[in-house]
Amino acid sequence: MTEIKQSELMGDIWGGLTAAIVALPLALAFGVAAFAPLGAEYASTGALVGLLGSIYTGFAAAKFGGTPAQITGPTGPMTVVSTAFIAQIVTVHGANLPVIAILMALGIVIGGAVQILIGLSGGGKVVKYMPYPVVAGFMNGIAIIIFIGQIKPALGIRGSWSEFDVSVGWVPMLVAIGTVVAILVSRKISKAVPGALVGLVAGIIIYMALAAPGLAPFTSTGNPLLIGTVPNPFASWEQMQRLMPVFQFGALENLGFSDFKMAFTAGLALAVLGSIDSLLTSLIADSVTHTRHDSRKELIGQGIGNILSGLGGGLAGAGATVRTLVNVRAGGRTSRSGMLHSTVIFLVVMVFGAPAGWIPLAALSGILFYTAVTMVDYYSLRLIKRRNVRSEFFIMIIVTAVTVMVDLMVAVGLGCAIAAILFITQQIKQPVVHRRERGNEIFSRRVRSSAKETAILKKFGHRTLSYELKGSLFFGTTDALISEVEADIESADKFIFDFSRVKDIDLSGVKILLSIIERLHSKNRRVFFSGLLKFEEASALSIREMLQDMGVIAEVGEENIYEDHDLAMEAAEEALLREHHEGYTDDQAALTLLDFESFQKLQKDEVEEFKMLLQEKKLKAGDYLFAKGEVVDSFVLVRKGELNVFKQGKDKDIRIATVSPGAMLGWRALMQDEQRITGGIRAETDVEVYLIPKEALAKLEKEHPMALLHFHRELLRNAVERMQTLTSELILLEER
């Protein structure tokens, strides 16, 4: 065995032992609390049920679950549901143990089966989206229920409040207080020793100290202040038949439809709350161990554990946060620690049933008092001070109140519903348009050298309107877009809708969007979509596919759909130039040198000098003028067609500019330092260019310096105009 495996094994052993020590008093306390509706005489049975719950759920969840270091057993939420369920059974059938046992088993088995179904269906992933105020609210409510439920045992009251007798009640009060004090003191001295175990021992010692001089009954038999001898179902076949529900099927004869309905309701509550409780603990375990749990596998393991616990007479269980953290801090990292924890508790049941009978009920109440106080989410209580999140605070308060006064499941459902309504309200308030820009405010990356083209775009660009959408498009947000478009419909005739920042869209959003497009088309407005990936690059549930299926793409026209916003803006500019520039056509002849504005103000002899330097080159669409990473060693004048300049990206090349006829590139070829285009320069269409090699420019500088100087002046003027346009675009973006 390697040193790492030995270290891991020892960590699991210490983790499992420590977790068992912490789990033991809590299992006893939760079991006794669950059986409280039956009366103090059934405390020992409740204690056994709690211990069995730790054994069955702890072992199976560790073996089959998806969170290796998690410790499973009875928890506050599961105990509260179980207590309420037993109280319902007692109301209908009285203290009939076989009926209680079979109905409890049925409810827990149903809960386990539902957990397995949730796991198989992948429903465990939903828990991570449970709103924090809802989780905090029902945990706070459970803490209050547990605390209130332990007041009577701590006062020695077995029935109604009128039975309280100070002459008897002072003993359990002192034991409960002593237990809590012992836990608090032990936590101050050392956190290495489990506080619950220290409190349990202190409670027993205090009771013994009072019983020795006769201040309290010195017997574990029939003593209402003690839990009594814990029976051992594994001691004999007769004991097993008497204590395990799997042998109590004869009690089914006494049950009706309402009983099965009650069991199903309880089982559903156990499944939902157990799943929430377990997966929240799994998330905490992940953060401590720096691992990732398998929610699907975890719920299946929890379900198997609860089915075994139901059949074997144990209490329903879930992932327990405190026990899991204790296990991890002691070194537990694998499922061995969880299985060892259950094995240790099994040995306790086998050997220490009689000694456990001396445990005071008030000591268990003290442990649960402390547990309830530590369960409260104090961070959620501080939300009242924060004005921006007071709505979340009130959700938490509502969930807490409904948990205490009505029902846990109702509280969780109501809390989620309120949180969903508030979320939808907040989403509706969020503007769906991230940016709204006119075509004379921001331009495409297409490089144009013609002053006339630029002037036309600046003069008529306001007739192009771009909406950069964001967030979720659904009935609430998309409806607000209708008003915005309607207000702009007379001031523009080209509308661009960019979906790059849109996360998702629902059917209502699609229908409203379709009505907007139809309205624009009825007014002879042209519509462009951008930010929509091609099908081979899009996911199965992409926005593009949704729009395609619902007929929106067909209404817009496939020719008006673009992958990025710049391409759509470029298309709108091209349409604008065709409308307002008589000489602007796709079929224009290849330009001559004097058609380039930078040469039109040069002297005739200077133009002739440049003509002598020109090299003509023709490219087919898709050919590279300069390949990826190749040195750009020439000044390029585009005579006909379009060139695209690319930057090499992580997954694919990114287009950084389109160069149209009359434009020039390769300015850095005029300088001494080397230039490389990482993604290359590629012909988008059939292209004709003039090339002026760098060496030729160097020669011109020596032989005709004034010609090159005058050319530099024209290039600088062109560059200044482009910089002014770029600066105005940047200012606009900063303002928005």
The reply to whether 360 and 303 lie within a common domain is: yes
Question: How many other β-carbons are positioned within 10 Å of the β-carbon of residue 9?
Answer: 16
Contact of 607 with 599, CB cutoff 8 Å: yes
Which residues of the chain have a pLDDT value below 50? Answer: 1, 535-541, 732-733, 735-736
In a domain, 588, yes or no: no
| Burial readout 466-482 (b: 16 or more C-beta within 10 A, e: otherwise) | bbbbbbbbbebbbeebe
- Cα–Cα distance between 509 and 511 in angstroms, integer? 6
Contact of 319 with 305, CB cutoff 8 Å: no
Give the H/E segment covering residue 241. helix 237-243
Give the closest residue to 436 by CA, choosing from 733, 96, 132, 639: 733
Which tokens belong to 617?
């080159």
- Cα–Cα distance between 732 and 736 in angstroms, integer? 6
- Cα–Cα distance between 278 and 272 in angstroms, integer? 10
User: Residue 619, SS3?
Assistant: strand
In a domain, 585, yes or no: no
The reply to whether 100 and 52 lie within a common domain is: yes
Q: What is the pLDDT of residue 464?
A: 92
Q: What is the pLDDT of residue 206?
A: 94
Last residue of a domain, one of 580, 610, 627: 580
In a domain, 134, yes or no: yes
Contact of 471 with 503, CB cutoff 8 Å: yes
R_g over Cα of the chain: 39
Q: What is the pLDDT of residue 106?
A: 93
Which tokens belong to 287?
């953060």
In a domain, 427, yes or no: no
The reply to whether 315 and 442 lie within a common domain is: no
Instruction: Report the CATH number that the domain containing residue 682 is assigned in CATH.
Output: 2.60.120.10
Q: Which domain holds residue 519?
A: 434-580
The reply to whether 246 and 372 lie within a common domain is: yes
- Cα–Cα distance between 734 and 727 in angstroms, integer? 11
Q: What is the pLDDT of residue 1?
A: 47
**Beta partners for 687?**
619
In a domain, 725, yes or no: yes
The reply to whether 206 and 310 lie within a common domain is: yes
User: Residue 600, SS3?
Assistant: helix
Q: What is the pLDDT of residue 736?
A: 46
To the nearest 10°, report the CA torsion of 354, 359, 361, 365.
-130
**Beta partners for 471?**
502
The reply to whether 598 and 456 lie within a common domain is: no
Last residue of a domain, one of 553, 580, 607: 580
DSSP letter string, 35-102 = TGGG-GGGHHHHHHHHHHHHHHHHHHHHHH-S-TT--EE--HHHHHHHHHHHHHHHHHH-S-HHHHHH
The reply to whether 406 and 449 lie within a common domain is: no
Side chain identity, residue 491: S
In a domain, 129, yes or no: yes
Q: What is the pLDDT of residue 709?
A: 81
The reply to whether 35 and 100 lie within a common domain is: yes
Q: Cβ neighbours of residue 87 under 8 Å, at least 6 residues apart?
A: 37
In a domain, 372, yes or no: yes
Last residue of a domain, one of 580, 603, 636: 580
Tens-digit pLDDT profile for residues 29-70: 999 999 988 887 888 889 999 999 999 999 999 999 999 989
In a domain, 586, yes or no: no
Number of domains in the chain: 3
User: Rounded to two decimals, what is the model's pTM?
Assistant: 0.64
The reply to whether 418 and 466 lie within a common domain is: no
Give the CA distances from residue 236 to residues 82, 221, 350, in Å, rounded to whole numbers and listed in that order: 27, 21, 11
User: Residue 627, SS3?
Assistant: coil
DSSP state of 704: -
Write the secondary structure of 473-497 as one string of H (helix), E (strand) and C (coil): ECHHHHHHHHHHHHHHCCCCCEEEE
Contact of 721 with 455, CB cutoff 8 Å: no
The reply to whether 546 and 597 lie within a common domain is: no
The reply to whether 452 and 404 lie within a common domain is: no
The reply to whether 492 and 470 lie within a common domain is: yes
Instruction: Report the CATH number that the domain containing residue 562 is assigned in CATH.
Output: 3.30.750.24
